[in-house]
Amino acid sequence: MNFLSYVAELSRGWDEPNARDMGRMTSQPNAKADMYILKEEIDMKAKIAAMARRLEELEMKKMQEMQAISQTPLQAMSWAICLSYEHLVEECPTIPVVREMFGDCNTYNSNWRDYPNFSWKPQPPQYQQPAQAPQQASNLEQAIVNLSNVGEDFVGAQKSMNAQLSQRIDNVESSLNKRMDGIQNDLSQKIDNLQYSISRLTNLKAHKRESSQVRDLKVVITLRSGKEV
């Protein structure tokens, strides 16, 4: 912690140049050389600051792990002979009896058969207290849960944005279709009007040509016969 405090105090003055840096900046005649020197010093200070932050993160992580381990409840272990959780192993009242039966040697003792837990008769199953589940989830499990929640929130927000975008696209498509239908109808009407005008003009020209031919024919007939028809 003393090293981290020293690095933190040292990094406070990195944002502003000190007297030595100011003297170096004014004493160097070449501007490019000053720029390279300052850049190297800034890079070195940035690396040291990153290392200091990394050390602080590791220290905090270690402290959190130690706190999590210290807060984890310990499961009580039962004594293998009496299967009780109410006293410590060295305080078990059956220890004197066991020592009397076993003695100080490793040979077989016939008195063992008279002890309930060492007899060869079938014994009914004894109640075993189930192990208690830890009350608090580990840091990894909590991180996984938090990450899952963040992923679900992101997916929900993305679905909402996609729905809004799809609705806007549908509205634009509908508006364009209506406009195109109006333009197409207007163009069709204009084409029909133009065709009708062309047809009338064609008929009018044909009628005029026919009238001119009939008049010319009457003139020819009158000149040859000398009579007017």
Domain boundaries, the chain: 2-71, 75-122
Q: Please give the pLDDT value at position 49.
A: 82
57-74: b (≥16 Cβ within 10 Å) or e? eeeeeeeeeeeeeeeeee
Dihedral over alpha carbons 111, 112, 113, 114 (to 10 degrees)? 60
pLDDT tens digits for 177-223? 888 988 988 888 889 888 888 888 888 877 777 666 656 555 555 54
pLDDT tens digits for 72-127? 554 545 555 566 666 666 667 666 666 666 655 455 555 555 555 555 555 555 55
CA atoms within 13 Å, Cβ hemisphere of 64: 9
Q: Please give the pLDDT value at position 46.
A: 81
Top mean pLDDT of 5-19, 63-77, 134-148 is at 134-148
Question: Can you give the pTM of this predicted structure?
Answer: 0.27
